[in-house]
């Protein structure tokens, strides 16, 4: 009796070893296995004839041996491994000619049956639910075991006069999820054993199915039923790795629903959701087999096109946009999207950069609008980096996505900036504006800071009647005054509380970094060095980086220092709200003659109320 008790306890322990990932799955599996164990144990103890199971050749399989093997099965982590071990258990101990497992597929309304014989050969067939005379369907529909003395219903020439037991696989909720077929001429005598195996198999199959669905929900966008941002990123990483291994191209198509903000504002978010759902549905219906789509942002849908060149990606995008243009939504009209494309490895081999380039191309598409009612489909290989629209789009993407980036795109912008030493004055100004926008994008609380400091500096320079050429130099220098922050870690830039001494020492390096990394390499920018390098010096000599005092600080740097401080005072920060103009002016007055030039502060106070924010 003790031996049988220990055996039954082993089945109970199956629940403790089940490959489950959440308390819900564990609780469900434990309760079902415990119920199974109780029934099987009671049956075994009250019916001595069930302690051993016989096959046609008179071989004996003990109940204890089956339980020992089932305990080993509990460690599996896939359905394939589960049924492979069950097949091995039966074939090795019963010498069954074959075992088959069929799982129900609701989309095709059939049971996909896979059969494995004792030699390891596999056979597959489908049995449709409409075939009500087939014993497989009868076992499935009626939740009952069916014995057959031949297997002609399998339509396999290899097996004919074999006796089988067809067992329904019943989940914890008594829902039939498929069937198991075991070849054994003594199947009726061994049915207790087979019921136990089938029930354990059903439990694990149901558990794996629940886990798969749960994981799918984690990576699925609830509105569009496409992959969400997280799921899309994971798949893209895998697909890029595969493309690298196979030496193939891979394209990303990024689509942005046009006017969605206006639609949400004027017609309500329900109408906006309707538009996004329609776009997702059309993408799902019309993309090619093997392509993967995800909701990349609020109104952006991205598609991964494996083994696809730029030209092929454009063709796919054209077809998708044409399909969307044929769709009309009440109060909205035809659905329009902006489309950008980036291709691995032509445009980049880095995943994050590839996404940024696709998004930049999408913004350029948005700027170019439509021709003959169709979206302008732009690839990142199609445009000049220094094109006005391209620069604006680049800064816009950086500002929108910077917190998600794992790669420093400002570095590339600076590299391109310094590559051309013959830029005209107007072009330098345009590029500097984009560069400043990219730097400001690193911190949402300083958005627009460089542009505002440039505006305030220009106003002060004009107020003291400097020559126009000098005003333009100060305006440009102020625009780039914080460019050295590209070399400052974001955890220092974005720290909400006071900086430690070590962090402050790092922050104080940005004037020198801006000078050496950005300005020195480009002859067209070297006359801006005094402004960028010395705008944090103080009249009393307590500033940085060199501790210059009043007479040694260039006038242009003194101007930018006041403009920089004033804008910082009136702007919101993580740790405080922006000050009003009166408070900011009073702080400038207190520091006049020690921190800032007294005469310049006096002039700036006079013009400050007219400057705005």
Helix (H) or strand (E) holding 395: helix 388-401
pLDDT tens string 342-388: 999 998 888 888 888 888 888 888 877 766 556 788 888 887 655 55
Which one, of 323, 352, 347, 333, lies nearest residue 255 by Cα? Answer: 323
Could you tell me the pLDDT band of residue 516, with boundaries at 50, 70 and 90?
confident
pLDDT tens string 36-75: 444 444 444 334 344 444 544 333 445 556 666 665 665 6
- Residue 3 confidence (pLDDT): 41
**CATH number for the domain running over 219-383:** 3.30.70.270
- Residue 384 confidence (pLDDT): 61
Query: What is the rounded distance in angstroms from the CA atom of residue 68 to the CA atom of residue 171?
Result: 23
Which one, of 472, 388, 480, 471, lies nearest residue 437 by Cα? Answer: 480
DSSP 8-state symbol, 131: -
**Residue 533 or 410, more confident:** 533
What ranges in 18-131 are assigned the alpha helix state H?
Answer: 23-46, 63-73, 79-94
Query: What is the rounded distance in angstroms from the CA atom of residue 238 to the CA atom of residue 35?
Result: 42
In contact, 534 and 548? CB cutoff 8 Å:
yes
What ranges in 500-579 are assigned the alpha helix state H?
Answer: 501-507, 510-513, 529-534, 555-570
**CATH number for the domain running over 2-217:** 3.30.450.40
Cα 592 from chain centroid? Answer: 51
Q: Phi/psi of residue 440, each to 5°?
A: -60, -30
Query: What is the rounded distance in angstroms from the CA atom of residue 612 to the CA atom of residue 595?
Result: 23
**Mean pLDDT along residues 560-572:** 90
3-state secondary structure of 296: coil
**Mean pLDDT along residues 479-504:** 81
For residue 513 the two structure tokens come to 């970094």
Q: How far is CA 250 from CA 201, 213, 227, 503, in A?
A: 40, 28, 18, 42
Residue % of the chain over a pLDDT of 90: 30
Q: Which CATH architecture has domain 406-613?
A: Orthogonal Bundle (1.10)
Which one, of 52, 50, 53, 55, lies nearest residue 185 by Cα? Answer: 55
DSSP 8-state symbol, 573: B
Task: Indicate if the alpha-carbon torsion angle 531, 535, 540, 546 is positive or negative.
Answer: negative
pLDDT tens string 96-124: 888 899 899 887 889 988 888 887 788 88
3-state secondary structure of 197: helix
Q: Which long-range contacts (CB under 8 A, 24 or more apart) does 588-594 make?
A: 588/562, 593/539, 594/538, 594/539, 594/540
In contact, 340 and 378? CB cutoff 8 Å:
yes
Query: What is the rounded distance in angstroms from the CA atom of residue 579 to the CA atom of residue 587?
Result: 10
Cα 381 from chain centroid? Answer: 24
Domain assignments of the chain as residue spans, ordered by start: 2-217, 219-383, 406-613
Q: At what angle do helices 79-94 and 191-218 cross, to 10 degrees?
A: 170
Query: What is the rounded distance in angstroms from the CA atom of residue 528 to the CA atom of residue 541?
Result: 21
Q: Phi/psi of residue 328, each to 5°?
A: -115, 135
pLDDT tens string 265-286: 888 888 888 889 999 998 988 8
- Residue 328 confidence (pLDDT): 84
* Buried residues in 435-464 as b, exposed as e (16+ CB within 10 A): bbbbbbbbbebbeebbbbbbbbbbbbbeee
pLDDT tens string 423-450: 566 667 766 776 676 666 655 555 678 8
In contact, 368 and 389? CB cutoff 8 Å:
yes
**Mean pLDDT along residues 12-24:** 36
DSSP 8-state symbol, 515: I
Which one, of 479, 476, 480, 464, lies nearest residue 555 by Cα? Answer: 464
Query: What is the rounded distance in angstroms from the CA atom of residue 516 to the CA atom of residue 528?
Result: 12
**Mean pLDDT along residues 83-94:** 75
Which one, of 549, 542, 588, lies nearest residue 569 by Cα? Answer: 588
Query: What is the rounded distance in angstroms from the CA atom of residue 147 to the CA atom of residue 25?
Result: 33
The C-alpha R_g of the chain, in whole angstroms, comes to 36
Least confident of 156-170, 403-417, 460-474, 513-527: 403-417
Average pLDDT, the chain: 78
Reply yes or no on whether the pLDDT at 493 is more than 70: yes
- Residue 185 confidence (pLDDT): 86
């Amino acid at each position: 009796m003790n031996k049988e008790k220990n055996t039954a306890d082993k089945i109970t322990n199956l629940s403790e070893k089940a490959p489950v990932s959440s308390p819900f799955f564990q609780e469900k599996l434990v309760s079902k296995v415990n119920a199974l164990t109780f029934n099987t144990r009671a049956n075994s103890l009250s019916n001595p004839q069930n302690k051993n199971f016989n096959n046609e050749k008179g071989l004996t399989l003990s109940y204890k041996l089956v339980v020992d093997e089932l305990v080993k099965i509990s460690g599996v982590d896939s359905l394939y491994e589960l049924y492979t071990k069950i097949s091995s258990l039966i074939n090795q101990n019963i010498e069954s000619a074959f075992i088959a497992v069929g799982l129900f597929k609701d989309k095709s309304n059939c049971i996909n049956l896979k059969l494995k014989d004792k030699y390891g050969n596999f056979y597959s067939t489908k049995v449709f639910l409409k075939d009500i005379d087939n014993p497989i369907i009868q076992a499935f529909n009626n939740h009952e075991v069916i014995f057959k003395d031949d297997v002609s219903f399998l339509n396999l020439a290899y097996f004919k006069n074999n006796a089988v037991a067809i067992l329904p696989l019943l989940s914890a909720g008594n829902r039939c999820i498929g069937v198991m077929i075991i070849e054994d001429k003594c199947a009726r005598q061994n049915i207790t054993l087979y019921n136990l195996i089938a029930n354990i198999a059903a439990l694990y199959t149901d558990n794996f199915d629940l886990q798969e669905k749960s994981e799918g929900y984690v990576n699925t966008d609830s509105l569009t039923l496409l992959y969400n941002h997280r799921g899309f990123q994971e798949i893209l990483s895998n697909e890029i790795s595969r493309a690298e291994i196979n030496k193939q191209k891979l394209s990303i198509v990024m689509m942005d629903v046009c006017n969605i903000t206006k639609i949400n504002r004027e017609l309500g978010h329900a109408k906006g959701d309707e538009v996004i759902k329609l776009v997702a549905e059309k993408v799902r219906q019309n993309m090619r087999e093997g392509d993967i789509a995800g909701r990349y942002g609020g109104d952006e849908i991205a598609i991964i096109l494996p083994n696809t060149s730029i030209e092929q990606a454009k063709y796919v995008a054209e077809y998708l946009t044409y399909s969307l243009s044929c769709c009309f939504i009440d109060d909205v009209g035809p659905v329009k999207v902006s489309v950008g494309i980036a291709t691995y490895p032509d445009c980049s081999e880095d995943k994050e950069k590839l996404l940024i380039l696709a998004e930049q191309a999408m913004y350029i598409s948005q700027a170019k609008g439509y021709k003959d009612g169709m979206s302008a489909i732009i690839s990142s290989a199609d445009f000049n980096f220094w094109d006005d629209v391209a620069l604006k789009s680049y800064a816009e993407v950086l500002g929108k996505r910077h917190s998600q980036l794992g790669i420093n795109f400002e570095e590339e912008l600076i590299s391109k900036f310094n590559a051309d030493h013959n830029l005209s004055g107007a072009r330098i100004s345009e590029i500097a504006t984009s560069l400043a926008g990219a730097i400001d994008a690193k911190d949402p609380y300083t958005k627009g800071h460089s542009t505002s400091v440039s505006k305030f500096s220009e106003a002060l320079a004009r107020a003291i009647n400097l020559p126009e050429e000098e005003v333009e130099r100060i305006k440009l220098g102020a625009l780039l005054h914080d460019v050295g922050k590209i070399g400052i870690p974001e955890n220092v830039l974005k720290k909400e509380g006071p900086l430690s001494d070590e962090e402050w020492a790092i922050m104080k390096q940005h004037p020198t970094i801006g000078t050496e990394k950005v300005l020195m390499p480009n002859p067209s920018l070297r006359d801006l060095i005094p402004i960028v390098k010395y705008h944090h010096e103080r009249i009393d000599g307590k500033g940085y980086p060199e501790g210059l005092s009043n007479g040694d600080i260039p006038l242009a740097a003194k101007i930018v220092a006041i403009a920089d401080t004033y804008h910082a005072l009136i702007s919101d920060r993580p740790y405080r709200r922006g000050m009003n103009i009166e408070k900011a002016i009073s702080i400038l007055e207190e520091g006049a003659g020690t921190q800032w030039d007294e005469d310049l502060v006096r002039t700036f106070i006079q013009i400050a109320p007219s400057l705005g924010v």
